[in-house]
Structure formats: C-alpha cells, structure tokens
Structure 1
Amino acid sequence: MGADRGRARGTLPRAVVVLGCGSLLVSGCASMPSSGDVHSVSASQRADSQVQVYAVPPRPGAQPNEIVSGFLEAMTSDDPQFAMARQYLTVKAAKDWQANQVTVLADGPDPQPNRSGDRGADSSGFTFTVSGKPVAVVDKQRAYQPAKPQDTYSQTIHLVRQSGPDGTGKEWRIDALPEGLLLGQSDFQRIYRSVNKYYFAAGQNQLVADPVYVRQRTDPETQMNLITQTVQSVLDGPTNWLKPVVASKFPSGTALKSDTKSLALDDRNALKVPLNERASHAEDQQCKRMAAQLLFTLRDLTTTRIGQVELDRANGSQMCVLSGNQAETYAPERMSTTPGQYFVDTTGHVERMRADTSGSDGSGGGTDSSDGSDASVVTEPVQGPFGKGEQQVRTVAVSRDEKRAAGVSADGKALLVARLAVGGELVHTSVTSDDRDAKNGGLSAPSWDGRGDLWVADRNPAKPRLLRLAQGTGEPEAVDVTGLNGAQIQQVRMSADGVRIALLVSEGGHTTLRIGRVERTEDGDKKVVSVRELRPGAPQMEDVTAVSWAGRSRLVVVGKEIGGVSQQLRYVQTDGSTSAAGTLPSVNKLTDIAATDDDRMPLVAHSQEDGIVRLPPGANWKTAVKKGSAPAYPG
C-alpha cells in the first residue's frame, strides 16, 4: 500500500488498514465500519475518496526503516488525533508534533538512511533523509502554495532508542521530524478537497471566492466533519493573500459554539449554525451578510441546493435566517442568466452566436451538419457601430451587463468603446499604442471587471503598460504591477469581482500565467489602483497560450506542460492547484479561449484550423463558425 511511497517502499512493511465506505454523505465516512473485510488496495483504489485508511501501531522490535515507513504511512490515515502515528514518536515528539500543515510531494516521501551524522555522541541514533519532488504546501490557513519547478525537498527524520510500552527493552522511536504532514499527490487528492469560502470585496456588497483545502472526512485533529471544518474556515477569516482586498462580516473572535463538531443539513437542506457570544450582538443586516458568506460557501461544497442558513446565538436563540433566493443579492458574479457568445467575423465586425430556433424537433436546437459543424448555432451582427459600419476591430470585450463593448482597432493601436444598441455612438478613447510591431503586439484584448471598469495592456516593448478606464469612459490610468521583474504583459483577464486579475506574461522566451490581487487605496482625494503579489496560476505549464475565467476561483488555460510537446487544455484554480475537472479534450492549434462562471455554458475557442469552435458540457468540440476569431463571453 501507499500509492505515493518513494523508491525504498518496496522493502518496507505495510502499515495501513484500508476499508471501503458505504453510503457517503457530504461529510464522508466518519467512523470505522462495523462490518466488511480487510483487503489490500491498488494505487487507483487509494486515490478513491471513498476509501478510508486506518494506521496500525509499530510492532515490537521494529527496526528504524520500519518505524519511518510506518510513520509516513500513518500520516495518510484517518485515525483520530493521529493516535497511531504518534506511537512511532517519542513521548516529547508526539506531544510537540502538529499536523496542521501539509507538504505535498509528487511521488510521496522517499526515506533513505543517512548515517553520516550518527557518530560520536549520537552513535545511538539513526538518521533518515526524506526527499521528494515538491508540488505544494497547504499552510495552517488551509491555503495552497504551489512549489516552483526548480524546488527540491530534503528533510531529516531522526530516531533514538527508548523504553518500550511496558518499561522494558529498547524500541526505536522518532524524536525529530519535519513539520506537519508529508503526503504524496494521490494521497493528498484522496484526503483533501478544494472548497471556495467567501468574503465581501472591500467596500462592496459582492462576494469573492477564497479557495482553501479541507479534509474530505472527519478531521483527525479537530474531529470536525467536512461541513463543520468548512464553516470554521470561514469564521477563521480570509487567507493572507486575499485579506488586503476583502472583509468578513463576522465580528472579530467569532467561532462556533464550543464542542460543535458535526454540522449537517436537515431534510429541508437547511443548516443551523450555533455561534459563540462574540457574534450574538450582530444587527440583522450584518447577520444576513454573515449568513450569505456561509451559504455561498456551502453551495460550492455540495451539489445539493442549499435552502437556507440560520445563525443562532450562544444561548440558542435565532439571530437571523437567509434563504437561497435572498442570498442572490450578494452573488459573486453579476451578468445575465444566459450570457452571449461573441466573436469577430472576417470583415472585422462583431457578431453574436445564438441557438437556432428553427429545429424541427421543437427543442430550439436544429441538428448537426454532415461536416461536423454545429448547426444549432446561428450568428447575427450586434447592434451599434461594432456590428456594422466602417470601423473594424481585431478583438472585442463585452461588458458584463452586455450593454457596451470595447474593441481594439484592426491595426492594434486604438481602443474603442460603443453601446450595443441602435444608434450607439463609437467613442475613440485616448488609449493608443506606439508599438512599431502592432501587428503582433500593440494593445491586448480588453477586459471588463464586474464593477464596470475596462482594462487593457499596451504591449509596446518600449513602453509596456497596464491601463484601466473607470466605467469604461474615464481617462486611462496606468496601473502599477509589482513583481513583474521585467516580464511583459501579453493578455489581461479580469475577474467578475474586480479584485483579482489573470495576466499572461512573457519572459525568457516563455509565456506564463500569473494571478494578481487588485488593491484600491486612496492618496488624498485620488483613488489609486494597483496589482500586488503576483503568484503562479498554472505552475505545471511552461507556456500558456490563452486563458479565461471559468468560475469564481477557476480558470481554463491553453498551453504546454513542462517537458511536454503537445498543447493541453485544462482547468486550474487561482491558487495554482489543478482543478478536479482535470484535462479537457483539446482541439488543433487553439489561440483564444472564452468561458463563463456558469459551467452549463459551452467553452468557446478559436482554432487556426477549425475557426470558432464550441465545447458544450459532456460533448465534443464542434465548429460553430468556420471563419472568425477572438471569441468572447461578457467580461
């Protein structure tokens, strides 16, 4: 067993008992099944989140390699308080060891004897070096921190002899060890899951997703089930990276009422949350915002429709109730329920794709054509100057309310804005690029955030800039981006909440994805917007061709993995982790990709060979328009 154990594991004893779980609720299996056979499992079975793992104690007289192997295996278990894992440690080490941080290694920890220091005064000790290829660290805030491709992991585990449980003999036990848990990637994916918790954008009534990782089943340390862990994580506050731009409506010090370990939805899919005294005096409007943070978090935790969240005071009285419909006031995204799909046609005008309602089956769908194109799609020019007229554009961005559009002129040098309405005026903004190679550079495709601001990058290597136009009409403001270190922005994609930005940046012959935090501060009477603390968005890729937001904390990227040769299409999280949805079917030579927060809507992309193509959920790519470019959803 031990799907991720290192090279030495073939000679080490097994130390884990695995039992299958039966019916699973959202909180997973929380206790040892009362029946069922003990059986060995393959690596593919170990990756199943329904498999529950229990450790076994060290055998009497176990040698150092068995102790180290047994301890590393025991860290992958669901054993309460990691009681079995602590039996491999000395009394002091067992007391001091905390399992509230996780180091994820690609193929698991590889322990090898290292006797170079076990001489002289330490001749009775035994040292192992534990190494592996680091993938990430999940810190004490449950935040995922991806490793850099060049990073390595090497730590030591030291053992000494101590008296056995009966006070006689000498048993090897670990007295010095690395911090937290060491898990291989497949064990990590089995044990933990990504969850979005929610906080309010600073000064706004709009929620922002903050991804963290929680245990799928009961946490060994806290004995909380999945729902309770997640609620407590919201109460703990936002992760450090997001904290400067969001706020929690829970009063400082708010926690669950003592001894709350197992929150669960009732038969009406409602959740009752008992809070401590620190929250008891929150007024009604604040309380409902508190409930909204939990309701949207729970929606991301389970596919079950959450009926309502009730917050109770420490004395048991009801503080407030928020229904799912009432919570929509604070929804993270604000766009039409069926966002349009747009593209630029061969004449440089903007068109919208829509369903063909002439289908004979009455479903509004039409049928697939014999050449593989999607006959359920028809196109029509948008209203206003972008749909007709002399002005040509090469890229387009449609505001999230779909009332305006911004386009970059065909020569790549000018930014234009117009209303998508009959008689809409074409506005030539003061944003221009002096890039001499505007054909391949110039202005990037623009992007609208959920606040109505318009963003664009000038890719002129002599004067690279990130620009923002307040409400799409103001004077362009140069936005300071810290952490670029000479890299140049090639593409800009703003999140719906307006506090996160996805940038494709080129440096050293490669184009990579970075995620930045958008900070808004005041300098006297002037509001200053900047981008801070860039972090890798797709660390497993060395070249990213295109990116689009595809959820509240998820993006879809097109690119090549490190060491790969073919183009890949995959979902990634904003914290740099790979989405559970994994790799998507690709199509030849994609240059642009567009998605929306609604995963029921198809992906839309541009292929150099196939034109505008669409990927509906559960289907294959189909050509929607044979000749066209720059596909876009609102945003």
Structure 2
Amino acid sequence: MRPLGALITLLVLLSAGCTGIPTAGPIEEVPVSTQPRGIDIAPQPPEAGVAPARLVEGFLQAMAAPEGDYAVARQYLTPAAAEEWDPASATVVDATVTGDGEMASLTGQRLGTLDLHGHYTAAAAPFVHQFTLTELDGEWRIAAPPPGLLLTRYIFERYYQRITLYYLARAGGHVVPDPIHLPETRVTPEAIVEALLAGPSPTVAQAVSNALPNGVRLGAAGASLNSDGVVTVDLAGLSERLGDDARRRLGAQLMWSLTAIPRATGLVVTNDGVPFILPGSRADGVLELAGQQGYQILSRAASVDLFAVDDGAPGRLTGDGQVERWRNVDLPVADIAVSLDGEAAIIDDSRTVLAVGAPGSELTRVETGYTNLRSPSFSLGVLWLLADGPSGRPVLLTVDRQRSVELVSLDLPVGLEVLEFAVSPARARIALLVGSDDTGRLGMAQVLPTTPVTVTGWAPLPMVDTSGQSLTDVSAVAWQAETSLAVAATSDGLRSVYSVEIDGSLVEELGPFSGDVAGLTANARLGGGAIATRTAAGTVWRYEARTRWTRLAEDIAAIAYAS
C-alpha cells in the first residue's frame, strides 16, 4: 500500500538531485501562465518490467501532464484503450493504490468531479476503482482505464489552478465570479476566453448573463499576451451593430476574467482581425484594467471597522476593546448590520423592532409584521434578515432603500427551513444553512433579481478538510472573499472555523480558539479579509492571515463587518 503523494514527492526529490540548471542555450518564448507552485512532475513512460501497482501509480502521476492530449498517460494503456480513453472530465480522489501480483486498485474517498469546462462539484463518497490489466509482450498495461482523469488530491491541489471567470449580473452593472479549475500549463488567455464562451456553471447561470453574444467564437488569431501586459483577443462573429453598453459589458467581462493571467493589465478586441472598439479604451485601442474597477463590487469596499453591540448599545469596536457608541439610539439593541455605503440596521432586544438609517443619526423604524427578527446583513445596499412568520416557521425578508419589506420566495426541498444565511457580495449566490431542527446542512443557491427576490437551486455543499474529514454541525457562515466562505463547523469532533471555497474544492482550517462560536462575520475582500467570531460568553476574536486569532473584547452581544 503506497500513499501516492508521498511516492510522487520522493520521485521529485530523486529527479531534482540529478538535474542541473542550464546556463547556456537559445532563448525560447513560452506560453504565459502563472508561476508553478513547486517543482514540476516530469512523468515518464512505463519502465520495462514494471509491476501492476507501480504501473497504476505511474499512470496516475502522468495525469499531471496534459501535454499532447495526455500522451505520456496513454502509454500506460493498451493501444485500444489509449485510443478510446477520453480525459475531458475528471474525478478528484483522496486514495491509495493497492495491489500485488496481477491486480491493482485505487481505494479511498471521492472528493469531487470536474466537468469538461473545469467546473468543480464537491461530491464526497467512498471510492474504489479496480484496474483491469493486460500483459502485452511481457509488459503490463491498463486495458480498462477510468472514464476520465483520476486526479489525486496531491495532483489537483499542486498542479491545477483555480481561475475566476466573470459574467455580468442580471441586475446591476457589476461582474459576478464563477470559478473553474485548469491544469497550470493550460492557463493561457485562449483557455480563459474559450471557457467564457462555454458559459457559466449551472450553479449561477440563472443569476448572470454572458456578455459574449451567442454564436461568437474565438477567431483565427486566438488570444495572446504581449510584453506590455496587453491581451489581444480575436473573436469571430461579433456584430458591428453591438451598442456601447453591450461593448462596455463585453470589455469588463473579458478584462476581469483575464486577471487570472498575473501580467494582464489591458485588453484589445478584434473581430476577425479587424479592431473592435470598446468604450473607454485609450487612443491606441487598449482597454485598461484600472478603468474597470467600477464593475468589481469588492474594489469598492473600504470599511475595515468591526461593529458591535455592548450592553444593548451599538457602535464601532475600537482597538482597546471598547465600543464607541452611536448617538440617537433610544432602544436596547440585540443585533446589528452595517452596509458598505454607510447605512445601519438594528434589531431591538425583543426582536420585534427593526430600525434603519445612518449611524449616529435618527433611525427610521420599519414595520415588518414579523417576529423574532434576527441575522441582519446587507448586500448591495439591500437589508436581508430572518424572521418568524405567522405559523412560527422561519422566513427570509428583504428591506430596500425605500424601506419596503418583501418576503423572499424560497425554493427549498420539502421540510427544510432556513437556519442561517449569507448573501454573496455580488448578490448572485446565497449560502443557506437549512434543516428541520437545530442541526443544519450548508448549501449554495442562486439569487434571482425577480419581484420579489427568488432564491432557487439550493444544493448541499459537501466539505472535506485536508485530513479527509467531513465538516459537520455547521452553525454560522459569512463571505470572506468573492468565492470563499468562513464557516464554523466540526471536524472529527473538534469545533473550529474554516475557509471554504464555494464549490467545495478547498477547505482550510483557520485554527481553533477558546469558546463555542455564537456569531461569525467577515470583511469580504478580493484576496480574503478579516474574520471575527463571538463566543457564547461574549468574547470577540479576530482572524487575520498575519496574526491569526487575536482576542479583541469581552461581553459583546453581536458583531458585524460592513457588507
């Protein structure tokens, strides 16, 4: 039994020990991609006389090299199998190769799947694959490979890159993220444009639109990056009658998606080789990333303040652990929310009164008609909160800038109720903790800009940490970045806070701290922002990547970052 990650590490170290760095030779132009995260695996064809288990290990290692349509991996297969094998999709596993004599199998846990466009779906389940082996001319070969790629967790995490594509929100002039995963060596401008042309994932498709019109394709000149960081994208089939607004949206979607290429700072679009003018471009036709910041919600985020409720009074939590109280609040407060544009919402300690307005000014009371008001938060200036309806069942409400209250249309599986929620910064997705009692399951759904707002397509989000343990007993959730959540949960009996990608492709523990999590908030940023928790005893802790967990205050009843 051989853990595959350890075997690959050993092979890399051995190969590194006998490899020199060339100091002379021709300069070659290579495709632009991100820098690799470690020493590259250099898969080799099967050795003469290789045993079945080692043959399978070599085949799995070769999955890291897509060059030549996985030419090296195909050498581990029989000629017939090599011709029929289709590596377009993939299964990601945490598994071990076992076998002796003429048998070999891969046994462990399935973590998720990748479709042919790179969309990841978390799907934790036991995994076993029995390889059918055949002896040809005295050498073992695989006669029945899996239907697609089999990526070990080691290969997936080390040699695949998470790429954030962007589409346009159906409501509002901003981009919405949609992550995919590609082999690092295939992260090129052409690959990104091709992925955009394929369209958004089903998990967000109803909430966004594609600024690349139907029928458009990548042109003969493809997409390339020059030494100045300008990407030229040649498209075929664009209509010259496309209006300025559609052209602006096209430029924003392409430019933000191309930020996956670290050096990309500008964009030129051609239509079958003919310049295609994008509004806002420079005189030389280049659309600069610097001019597209207004399309990115999180580039507008400025507040880093943490707000809190202390002894019934709301305010800003200062560095010395005190609450700088707001004036003109004439009722005891139990919960609080603050928007990025300076609005505040408070809920009184009876949880029947909601008041909204600018902090420090006279707040306007909003009649909701519901009881047990809780979990307030803002998204794009709209307040969301949970309440109890006339039957006592939880309902989800929105309050717009005109103080109009609407009941959100919730499309959930029968018998499930919302226990907690977190709306994404771009208001296209919502993380919903649902259940039929106090124990819930976390899942993702889409937010549709209907009247009233509709939440639909809820699907559970399986979360498996780096030790192979599934997260359970989720009690709180907040958006830490545009594609990741902060989640309070249990793994192998231990409570902690985790950072979780919205497709479940990465789950990282942020470190334990003292006390049970009773509240969780995050300062969402593009690269991930600060996270704050409140324990049942009222102790507030803040997590930042540099300092980890810092104790901030005591006896706090509620906390909130601006959202």
TM-score range, shorter chain: 0.7 to 0.9
Unaligned runs of 5+ in 2: 23-29, 279-285, 465-469
CA RMSD after TM alignment = 3.5
Cα pair 2:379 2:423 within 8 Å, conserved = yes
Counterpart for residue 467 of structure 2: none
Alignment of 1:356-505 (within 5 A): 374-375=319-320, 379-384=323-328, 388-389=329-330, 391-403=331-343, 405-412=344-351, 414-420=352-358, 423-433=361-371, 442-450=372-380, 452-458=382-388, 462-471=392-401, 473-483=403-413, 485-505=414-434
CA distance in 1, matches of 2:373, 2:105: 52
SS in 2 for 1:256: strand
Counterpart for residue 212 of structure 1: 180
1:326 aligns with 2:303: no
Counterpart for residue 607 of structure 1: 535
Query: CA 1:571/1:15 → structure 2, altered by over 3 Å: closer, same or farther?
Result: closer
1:292 aligns with 2:292: no
Cα pair 1:415 1:432 within 8 Å, conserved = no
Query: CA 1:628/1:451 → structure 2, altered by over 3 Å: closer, same or farther?
Result: closer
1:159 aligns with 2:124: no
Aligned partner letter, 2:364 = L
CA distance in 2, matches of 1:472, 1:538: 39
Aligned partner letter, 1:392 = P
Cα pair 1:444 1:458 within 8 Å, conserved = no
- CA-to-aligned-CA distance 1:526-550 (integer Å, 9 cap, x gap): 6562332333164531022322111
CA distance in 2, matches of 1:453, 1:610: 25
Alpha-carbon distance, 1:419 to partner = 0.9
CA distance in 2, matches of 1:461, 1:344: 30
CA distance in 2, matches of 1:26, 1:204: 33
2:33 pairs, out of 22, 27, 42, with 27
SS in 2 for 1:54: coil
Aligned partner letter, 2:316 = R
Alignment of 1:88-167 (within 5 A): 88-108=76-96, 110-112=97-99, 128-148=104-124, 151-162=125-136
CA distance in 2, matches of 1:156, 1:53: 25
1:273 pairs, out of 230, 233, 239, with 233
How many residues align structurally? 539
1:249 pairs, out of 202, 211, 231, with 211
Cα pair 2:160 2:183 within 8 Å, conserved = yes
Query: CA 1:173/1:479 → structure 2, altered by over 3 Å: closer, same or farther?
Result: same
2:475 pairs, out of 545, 549, 561, with 545
Counterpart for residue 173 of structure 1: 141
Query: CA 1:401/1:134 → structure 2, altered by over 3 Å: closer, same or farther?
Result: same
Cα pair 2:477 2:486 within 8 Å, conserved = yes
Cα pair 2:370 2:389 within 8 Å, conserved = no
CA distance in 2, matches of 1:14, 1:316: 49
Report percent identity of matched pairs: 23
Counterpart for residue 533 of structure 1: 458
Query: CA 1:245/1:21 → structure 2, altered by over 3 Å: closer, same or farther?
Result: farther
CA distance in 2, matches of 1:86, 1:555: 39
SS in 2 for 1:70: helix
Alpha-carbon distance, 1:478 to partner = 4.4
Alpha-carbon distance, 1:322 to partner = 2.4
Alpha-carbon distance, 1:277 to partner = 3.8
Alpha-carbon distance, 1:53 to partner = 1.5
CA distance in 2, matches of 1:633, 1:289: 30
CA distance in 2, matches of 1:212, 1:264: 21
1:232 aligns with 2:194: yes
Aligned partner letter, 1:492 = F
Query: CA 1:607/1:406 → structure 2, altered by over 3 Å: closer, same or farther?
Result: same
CA distance in 1, matches of 2:360, 2:75: 75
1:310 aligns with 2:271: no
1:53 aligns with 2:17: no
Aligned partner letter, 1:139 = D
Query: CA 1:132/1:98 → structure 2, altered by over 3 Å: closer, same or farther?
Result: same
Aligned partner letter, 1:380 = E
Alpha-carbon distance, 1:208 to partner = 0.8
Counterpart for residue 513 of structure 2: 587
CA distance in 2, matches of 1:576, 1:600: 16
Cα pair 1:113 1:129 within 8 Å, conserved = no
SS in 2 for 1:444: strand
Cα pair 1:55 1:73 within 8 Å, conserved = yes
CA distance in 1, matches of 2:535, 2:192: 41
Alpha-carbon distance, 1:197 to partner = 0.9
Aligned partner letter, 2:432 = L
Alpha-carbon distance, 1:592 to partner = 1.6
| Structure number with bigger Rg | 1
1:624 aligns with 2:540: no
Alpha-carbon distance, 1:247 to partner = 0.7
Alpha-carbon distance, 1:179 to partner = 1.5
CA distance in 1, matches of 2:44, 2:543: 48
SS in 2 for 1:402: coil
Alpha-carbon distance, 1:610 to partner = 6.7
CA distance in 1, matches of 2:21, 2:528: 30
SS in 2 for 1:51: coil
Cα pair 2:77 2:145 within 8 Å, conserved = no
SS in 2 for 1:588: coil
CA distance in 1, matches of 2:71, 2:14: 14
Aligned partner letter, 1:564 = G
Query: CA 1:283/1:105 → structure 2, altered by over 3 Å: closer, same or farther?
Result: same
SS in 2 for 1:271: strand
Counterpart for residue 596 of structure 1: 523
Cα pair 1:547 1:558 within 8 Å, conserved = yes
- CA-to-aligned-CA distance 1:339-389 (integer Å, 9 cap, x gap): 54211111x1210235xxxxxxxxxxxxxxxxxxx43x76422354xxx31
1:513 pairs, out of 438, 442, 446, with 442
SS in 1 for 2:40: strand
Query: CA 1:612/1:95 → structure 2, altered by over 3 Å: closer, same or farther?
Result: same
CA distance in 2, matches of 1:212, 1:21: 35
SS in 1 for 2:434: strand
Query: CA 1:3/1:270 → structure 2, altered by over 3 Å: closer, same or farther?
Result: farther
- CA-to-aligned-CA distance 1:584-629 (integer Å, 9 cap, x gap): 2432123222212225853332234572333344124333333323
Cα pair 2:112 2:123 within 8 Å, conserved = yes
- CA-to-aligned-CA distance 1:214-249 (integer Å, 9 cap, x gap): 222x23xxxxx4444233322321112211111110
Cα pair 1:54 1:79 within 8 Å, conserved = no
CA distance in 1, matches of 2:550, 2:453: 44
Relative to the length of structure 1, the TM-score reads 0.76
Alpha-carbon distance, 1:191 to partner = 0.9
